[in-house]
Chains A and B, each alone.
Chain A
Protein backbone atom coordinates (compact mmCIF):
# COMPACT_ATOMS: atom_id res chain seq x y z
CA UNK A 1 0.00 0.00 0.00
CA UNK A 2 1.42 3.39 -1.01
CA UNK A 3 0.95 6.53 1.02
CA UNK A 4 0.88 10.06 -0.27
CA UNK A 5 2.75 11.28 2.81
CA UNK A 6 6.53 11.16 3.04
CA UNK A 7 7.25 11.75 6.72
CA UNK A 8 4.85 10.49 9.36
CA UNK A 9 5.01 11.08 13.10
CA UNK A 10 3.85 8.13 15.19
CA UNK A 11 3.25 8.75 18.89
CA UNK A 12 3.18 5.83 21.27
CA UNK A 13 5.60 4.08 18.95
CA UNK A 14 6.64 1.56 21.60
CA UNK A 15 3.08 0.46 22.29
CA UNK A 16 1.13 -2.39 20.79
CA UNK A 17 -0.64 -0.31 18.17
CA UNK A 18 2.18 2.16 17.59
CA UNK A 19 4.74 -0.53 16.85
CA UNK A 20 2.36 -2.21 14.40
CA UNK A 21 1.83 1.14 12.67
CA UNK A 22 5.59 1.60 12.43
CA UNK A 23 5.93 -1.79 10.77
CA UNK A 24 3.18 -0.96 8.29
CA UNK A 25 4.74 2.41 7.48
CA UNK A 26 8.15 0.85 6.93
CA UNK A 27 6.53 -1.69 4.64
CA UNK A 28 4.94 1.19 2.72
CA UNK A 29 8.40 2.74 2.45
CA UNK A 30 7.37 5.89 4.27
CA UNK A 31 9.90 7.83 6.28
CA UNK A 32 8.86 7.61 9.90
CA UNK A 33 9.54 9.83 12.84
CA UNK A 34 9.19 7.04 15.36
CA UNK A 35 8.68 8.61 18.69
CA UNK A 36 7.97 7.03 21.98
CA UNK A 37 5.99 10.08 22.93
CA UNK A 38 3.78 8.24 25.29
CA UNK A 39 1.58 8.62 28.24
CA UNK A 40 3.42 7.01 31.14
CA UNK A 41 2.21 3.54 32.10
CA UNK A 42 0.08 2.56 29.13
CA UNK A 43 0.92 -0.97 28.04
CA UNK A 44 -2.50 -2.40 27.17
CA UNK A 45 -4.45 -0.80 24.32
CA UNK A 46 -8.20 -1.04 24.02
CA UNK A 47 -11.01 -1.52 24.06
Chain B
Protein backbone atom coordinates (compact mmCIF):
# COMPACT_ATOMS: atom_id res chain seq x y z
CA UNK B 1 0.00 0.00 0.00
CA UNK B 2 1.40 3.36 -0.99
CA UNK B 3 0.09 6.74 0.00
CA UNK B 4 0.74 9.80 2.13
CA UNK B 5 0.79 9.14 5.85
CA UNK B 6 -1.50 12.13 6.41
CA UNK B 7 -4.32 10.38 4.49
CA UNK B 8 -6.78 9.40 7.22
CA UNK B 9 -8.59 6.76 5.16
CA UNK B 10 -5.38 5.06 4.06
CA UNK B 11 -3.96 5.07 7.56
CA UNK B 12 -7.21 3.77 9.06
CA UNK B 13 -7.23 0.91 6.57
CA UNK B 14 -3.62 0.05 7.38
CA UNK B 15 -4.27 0.22 11.13
CA UNK B 16 -6.91 -2.50 11.08
CA UNK B 17 -5.81 -5.44 13.24
CA UNK B 18 -2.54 -3.81 14.28
CA UNK B 19 -1.38 -3.85 17.90
CA UNK B 20 1.71 -1.62 17.65
CA UNK B 21 3.06 1.11 15.37
CA UNK B 22 6.49 2.30 14.30
CA UNK B 23 6.01 5.61 12.54
CA UNK B 24 8.99 6.37 10.32
CA UNK B 25 7.31 8.22 7.45
CA UNK B 26 8.59 11.77 7.29
CA UNK B 27 10.13 14.42 5.13
CA UNK B 28 13.52 14.18 6.73
CA UNK B 29 15.10 17.47 5.78
CA UNK B 30 13.87 21.05 5.45
CA UNK B 31 15.47 21.08 2.00
CA UNK B 32 12.94 18.60 0.60
CA UNK B 33 9.89 20.82 0.38
CA UNK B 34 8.22 24.06 1.26
CA UNK B 35 7.42 24.82 4.88
CA UNK B 36 3.72 23.92 4.52
CA UNK B 37 4.64 20.69 2.70
CA UNK B 38 7.08 19.75 5.40
CA UNK B 39 4.69 20.53 8.23
CA UNK B 40 1.95 18.47 6.59
CA UNK B 41 4.25 15.56 5.78
CA UNK B 42 5.72 15.43 9.27
CA UNK B 43 3.37 16.87 11.88
CA UNK B 44 0.07 16.18 10.16
CA UNK B 45 1.19 12.63 9.39
CA UNK B 46 2.22 11.98 12.97
CA UNK B 47 -1.10 13.26 14.25
CA UNK B 48 -3.08 11.18 11.75
CA UNK B 49 -1.12 7.99 12.45
CA UNK B 50 -1.17 8.28 16.25
CA UNK B 51 -4.80 9.42 16.42
CA UNK B 52 -5.77 6.49 14.23
CA UNK B 53 -3.76 4.21 16.49
CA UNK B 54 -5.76 5.45 19.48
CA UNK B 55 -9.07 4.80 17.73
CA UNK B 56 -7.90 1.29 16.86
CA UNK B 57 -6.91 0.51 20.46
CA UNK B 58 -3.22 0.28 19.67
CA UNK B 59 -1.31 0.43 22.96
CA UNK B 60 2.26 1.09 21.84
CA UNK B 61 3.89 3.35 19.28
CA UNK B 62 7.32 4.66 18.40
CA UNK B 63 7.87 7.81 16.36
CA UNK B 64 11.03 8.95 14.62
CA UNK B 65 11.98 12.28 16.09
CA UNK B 66 15.35 13.85 15.47
CA UNK B 67 18.37 15.49 16.98
CA UNK B 68 17.14 18.43 14.93
CA UNK B 69 14.33 19.02 17.43
CA UNK B 70 16.96 20.85 19.51
CA UNK B 71 17.27 23.50 16.81
CA UNK B 72 21.01 22.96 16.42
CA UNK B 73 21.37 21.30 13.00
CA UNK B 74 19.19 23.69 11.02
CA UNK B 75 18.84 26.75 13.23
CA UNK B 76 21.63 29.17 14.05
CA UNK B 77 21.64 28.48 17.78
CA UNK B 78 24.42 27.50 20.16
CA UNK B 79 24.41 24.27 22.11
CA UNK B 80 23.35 25.05 25.71
CA UNK B 81 25.87 22.49 26.95
CA UNK B 82 27.65 19.37 25.80
CA UNK B 83 27.18 16.48 25.64
CA UNK B 84 23.52 17.09 24.86
CA UNK B 85 21.01 15.30 27.03
CA UNK B 86 17.24 15.25 27.39
CA UNK B 87 17.25 18.28 29.70
CA UNK B 88 18.28 20.68 26.94
CA UNK B 89 15.78 23.39 26.04
CA UNK B 90 14.47 23.22 22.49
CA UNK B 91 15.63 26.30 20.58
CA UNK B 92 13.31 26.02 17.62
CA UNK B 93 14.17 28.46 14.82
CA UNK B 94 13.43 26.38 11.73
CA UNK B 95 10.38 24.58 10.37
CA UNK B 96 11.96 21.12 10.51
CA UNK B 97 12.72 21.45 14.23
CA UNK B 98 9.22 22.83 14.71
CA UNK B 99 7.67 19.85 12.92
CA UNK B 100 9.53 17.47 15.22
CA UNK B 101 8.60 19.54 18.28
CA UNK B 102 4.95 19.26 17.24
CA UNK B 103 5.37 15.52 16.64
CA UNK B 104 6.60 15.08 20.19
CA UNK B 105 3.83 17.30 21.56
CA UNK B 106 1.23 15.22 19.71
CA UNK B 107 2.71 12.04 21.14
CA UNK B 108 2.73 13.48 24.67
CA UNK B 109 -0.87 14.67 24.38
CA UNK B 110 -2.24 11.38 23.09
CA UNK B 111 -0.27 9.32 25.62
CA UNK B 112 -1.62 11.48 28.44
CA UNK B 113 -5.21 11.42 27.23
CA UNK B 114 -5.50 7.81 26.06
CA UNK B 115 -4.30 4.29 26.74
CA UNK B 116 -1.32 4.43 24.42
CA UNK B 117 2.38 4.66 25.16
CA UNK B 118 4.46 6.61 22.67
CA UNK B 119 8.24 6.82 22.59
CA UNK B 120 9.94 9.50 20.49
CA UNK B 121 13.43 8.58 19.37
CA UNK B 122 15.62 11.55 18.55
CA UNK B 123 17.80 10.11 15.83
CA UNK B 124 20.99 11.69 14.51
CA UNK B 125 22.22 11.06 10.95
CA UNK B 126 21.28 7.49 10.04
CA UNK B 127 23.16 5.35 7.59
CA UNK B 128 25.45 2.47 6.84
CA UNK B 129 29.25 2.50 6.56
CA UNK B 130 29.44 2.06 2.81
CA UNK B 131 27.16 4.99 2.11
CA UNK B 132 26.10 7.80 4.43
CA UNK B 133 28.55 7.22 7.26
CA UNK B 134 31.60 6.88 5.05
CA UNK B 135 30.51 9.85 2.97
CA UNK B 136 30.07 12.17 5.95
CA UNK B 137 33.22 10.94 7.67
CA UNK B 138 35.17 11.76 4.51
CA UNK B 139 33.58 15.19 4.38
CA UNK B 140 34.47 15.88 8.01
CA UNK B 141 38.04 14.78 7.37
CA UNK B 142 38.57 17.65 4.95
CA UNK B 143 36.19 20.08 6.65
CA UNK B 144 35.60 19.14 10.29
CA UNK B 145 33.47 22.22 10.84
CA UNK B 146 30.86 20.84 8.46
CA UNK B 147 29.66 18.46 11.15
CA UNK B 148 29.55 20.98 13.97
CA UNK B 149 25.82 21.72 13.92
CA UNK B 150 24.87 18.05 13.98
CA UNK B 151 27.63 17.35 16.54
CA UNK B 152 29.26 14.83 14.15
CA UNK B 153 26.66 12.39 15.50
CA UNK B 154 25.43 9.30 13.71
CA UNK B 155 23.75 5.95 14.25
CA UNK B 156 23.95 2.86 12.09
CA UNK B 157 20.48 2.09 10.73
CA UNK B 158 20.67 -1.43 12.20
CA UNK B 159 21.09 0.01 15.69
CA UNK B 160 18.38 2.57 14.93
CA UNK B 161 15.98 -0.27 14.12
CA UNK B 162 16.93 -2.20 17.23
CA UNK B 163 16.28 0.92 19.28
CA UNK B 164 12.82 1.22 17.74
CA UNK B 165 11.97 -2.33 18.82
CA UNK B 166 13.33 -1.71 22.32
CA UNK B 167 11.23 1.44 22.54
CA UNK B 168 8.16 -0.44 21.38
CA UNK B 169 8.70 -3.01 24.08
CA UNK B 170 8.82 -0.31 26.78
CA UNK B 171 6.27 2.16 25.39
CA UNK B 172 3.24 1.05 27.40
CA UNK B 173 5.19 1.30 30.63
CA UNK B 174 6.66 4.69 29.81
CA UNK B 175 3.52 6.51 28.63
CA UNK B 176 5.33 9.27 26.75
CA UNK B 177 9.09 9.60 26.74
CA UNK B 178 11.77 10.93 24.40
CA UNK B 179 15.35 9.82 24.04
CA UNK B 180 18.45 11.02 22.30
CA UNK B 181 20.23 8.26 20.42
CA UNK B 182 23.71 8.12 18.97
CA UNK B 183 26.59 5.79 18.33
CA UNK B 184 29.17 5.99 21.14
CA UNK B 185 31.65 7.93 18.99
CA UNK B 186 31.59 10.76 16.46
CA UNK B 187 32.19 10.63 12.71
CA UNK B 188 35.18 12.94 13.11
CA UNK B 189 38.82 11.97 13.38
CA UNK B 190 39.59 14.89 15.70
CA UNK B 191 39.17 14.21 19.44
CA UNK B 192 35.86 15.36 20.83
CA UNK B 193 37.35 17.93 23.19
CA UNK B 194 39.23 19.49 20.29
CA UNK B 195 36.02 19.60 18.24
CA UNK B 196 34.30 21.46 21.07
CA UNK B 197 37.22 23.84 21.56
CA UNK B 198 37.38 24.68 17.85
CA UNK B 199 33.73 24.68 16.82
CA UNK B 200 31.69 25.15 20.00
CA UNK B 201 33.97 27.52 21.87
CA UNK B 202 32.48 28.75 25.11
CA UNK B 203 29.84 26.04 25.36
CA UNK B 204 29.90 24.44 28.83
CA UNK B 205 31.18 20.87 28.82
CA UNK B 206 29.55 18.83 31.56
CA UNK B 207 32.25 16.22 31.95
CA UNK B 208 35.68 15.32 30.69
CA UNK B 209 35.37 14.07 27.14
CA UNK B 210 37.12 10.84 26.30
CA UNK B 211 38.85 10.46 22.93
CA UNK B 212 36.19 10.48 20.22
CA UNK B 213 33.16 9.97 22.41
CA UNK B 214 29.80 11.17 21.14
CA UNK B 215 28.62 14.65 22.04
CA UNK B 216 25.12 13.24 22.55
CA UNK B 217 24.52 11.60 25.92
CA UNK B 218 22.52 8.39 25.49
CA UNK B 219 22.60 7.23 29.09
CA UNK B 220 18.85 7.87 29.51
CA UNK B 221 18.10 5.51 26.62
CA UNK B 222 20.60 2.99 27.96
CA UNK B 223 19.00 3.06 31.38
CA UNK B 224 15.33 2.96 30.40
CA UNK B 225 15.44 1.06 27.11
CA UNK B 226 18.61 -0.97 27.31
CA UNK B 227 19.95 0.87 24.26
CA UNK B 228 23.45 -0.39 23.43
CA UNK B 229 24.58 0.25 19.84
CA UNK B 230 26.61 -2.57 18.31
CA UNK B 231 27.60 -1.16 14.94
CA UNK B 232 30.31 1.42 15.51
CA UNK B 233 31.82 3.14 12.49
CA UNK B 234 35.50 3.97 12.68
CA UNK B 235 36.09 7.24 10.77
CA UNK B 236 39.79 6.43 10.60
CA UNK B 237 38.94 3.77 8.03
CA UNK B 238 38.25 6.67 5.69
CA UNK B 239 41.79 7.93 6.28
CA UNK B 240 43.41 4.56 5.70
CA UNK B 241 41.03 3.51 2.94
How far is B167's CA from A24's CA once the two chains are assembled, in angstroms? 13
Q: What separation, in Å, do the CA atoms of A36 and B149 have in the docked complex?
A: 31
CA distance A26 to B18 in the complex (A): 15
Nearest chain A CB to B34 CB, angstrom units: 11
Q: Which of B85-93, B150-158, B195-203 contacts A (4 or more CB under 8 A)?
A: B150-158
Majority DSSP secondary structure for residues of A touching B:
loop
Contact of A39 among B26, B66, B67, B166 (CB under 8 A): B26
Please, how many angstroms separate the alpha-carbon atoms of A46 and B155 in the complex?
10
Q: Is B113 an interface residue (CB 8 A)?
A: no
Q: Are B28 and A23 in contact (CB under 8 A)?
A: no
- The reply to whether B157 and A5 contact each other, CB–CB distance below 8 Å, is no
Q: Are B64 and A17 in contact (CB under 8 A)?
A: yes
In B74-124, the 8 Å CB interface with A consists of 123-124
Is A20 in contact with B161, judged by CB distance below 8 angstroms? yes
Q: Which residues of A contact B (CB under 8 A)?
A: 1, 3-13, 15-18, 20-21, 23-25, 28, 33, 35-47
Q: 27 pairs across A/B with beta carbons < 8 Å?
A: A1-B166, A8-B20, A8-B168, A9-B15, A10-B21, A10-B24, A12-B64, A16-B157, A17-B164, A20-B160, A21-B165, A37-B5, A38-B2, A38-B4, A38-B5, A38-B25, A41-B32, A42-B26, A42-B27, A43-B28, A45-B24, A45-B28, A45-B123, A46-B28, A46-B125, A47-B67, A47-B73
> Interface on B for A, CB 8 Å cutoff?
1-7, 10-11, 14-15, 17-29, 32-33, 40-42, 45, 49, 58, 60, 64, 66-68, 73, 123-127, 132, 150, 153, 157-158, 160-162, 164-166, 168-169
